[in-house]
Amino acid sequence: MIGFRFFIREFGLASAFIALGALLLICLWFSLSVQSSFLNEFRQDQLSLILDPTEKESFEQLMREESGVLRYSLQTAEENRDRIRSLYPELDSVIDSISIENFPVSALVIVEDGRKMMSFFETRPELIQAQMIHQAPDSLKTLISVATTIFLFLWVFTLILFLYFQLEGVAHRQSAKWSLMKMLGAKSSRIFLPLWGLQMTRLLVSSVCACVLAWWATSYLLSFSNWTWAGLGLNLSLGFILASLVLGSLCLYSLFLVQFRRVSVC
Query: Bridge-partner residues for 72, per DSSP?
Result: 109
Write the DSSP assignment of 43-87 as a string of letters.
SSEEEEEEE-GGGHHHHHHHHHH-TTEEEEEEE-HHHHHHHHHHH
CB of 46 to other proteins, least distance (A): 6
**Of 227, 219, 226, 224, residue with least CA distance to 22:** 219
Comparison of 108 and 217: residue with beta carbon closer to other proteins: 108
CB of 229 to other proteins, least distance (A): 10
Q: Which amino acid is at 176?
A: A
CB of 100 to other proteins, least distance (A): 11
Comparison of 15 and 135: residue with beta carbon closer to other proteins: 135
Comparison of 18 and 51: residue with beta carbon closer to other proteins: 51
**Of 20, 25, 24, residue with least CA distance to 234:** 25
Comparison of 4 and 224: residue with beta carbon closer to other proteins: 224
Comparison of 67 and 93: residue with beta carbon closer to other proteins: 93
In degrees to the nearest 10, what's the CA dihedral of 193, 199, 200, 204?
Answer: 170
CB of 236 to other proteins, least distance (A): 21
CB of 90 to other proteins, least distance (A): 8
Contact 178, 191 (CB under 8 A): yes
CB of 122 to other proteins, least distance (A): 16
Three-state secondary-structure class, residue 239: helix
Find all residues with CB under 8 Å of 157, minimum gap 6, and list them. none
Alpha-carbon span 50 to 105, nearest angstrom: 6
Q: Give the footprint of other proteins on this chain (CB under 8 A).
A: 37-38, 41-42, 46, 48, 50, 80, 83-84, 87-88, 91, 94-95, 97-98, 101-104, 106, 108, 129-130, 132, 134-137, 140, 221, 224-228
Comparison of 10 and 55: residue with beta carbon closer to other proteins: 55
Comparison of 123 and 226: residue with beta carbon closer to other proteins: 226
Contact 156, 244 (CB under 8 A): no
Alpha-carbon span 51 to 72, nearest angstrom: 13
Biggest CA–CA distance in the chain, Å, is 96
CB of 129 to other proteins, least distance (A): 7
